[in-house]
Structure 1
Amino acid sequence: MNYLLYFDAGLGAMIAQAAIAALAGFVLFYKTVIAVIKGWLGMRKEKKNGSFDSSYEKDPENN
């Protein structure tokens, strides 16, 4: 049997989009799971506060 497969541009774009979406979904799921596990184990790093709001809250002259 001789099968000829034809992929048009639309089908190729759809396959590429599905592959990219699957990869992005895996990355986001992986980051979330790792963050939850690190939270349970107490290995989470403290976030640096980079906003200016916290600077004004600590300054006694602005109260």
Structure 2
Amino acid sequence: IEGKRMKLIFHRFWKTLSGIMISLTGFVAFLQSNTKTMLFCIIMILAGLFIVSVSEEKK
């Protein structure tokens, strides 16, 4: 049972981490972007935040 819990925590942590990474990547790209890529960067940031919020809800 203990191993299963660790796996669940690790999985949630990994999802949160990947969401934050996507958001950060989008943000960095946003800072270096022109008008064409700006929308894509905003979508990327929102997608990352969405992944984080979804993984946080399933506790």
Establish whether TM, by shorter chain, passes 0.5: yes
1:35 equivalent in alignment to 2:31: no
Q: Which runs of no fewer than 5 residues in structure 2 stay unpaired?
A: 43-59
How far apart in 2 are the matches of 1:14 and 1:41?
40
Greater gyration radius: 1
User: 1:1-63 residue pairs with structure 2 within 5 A?
Assistant: 9-42=1-34, 43=38
TM-score (norm. length: structure 1): 0.52
Pairwise CA RMSD: 1.8
How far apart in 2 are the matches of 1:37 and 1:17?
30
Equivalenced residues, count: 37
> Quick check: which one's helix share is greater?
2
Q: Which amino acid aligns with 1:36?
A: V
Q: Which amino acid aligns with 1:25?
A: L
Identity of aligned residues (%): 8
Structure with the bigger RCO (C-alpha within 8 Å, sep 6+) is 2
Q: Which runs of no fewer than 5 residues in structure 1 stay unpaired?
A: 1-8, 46-63
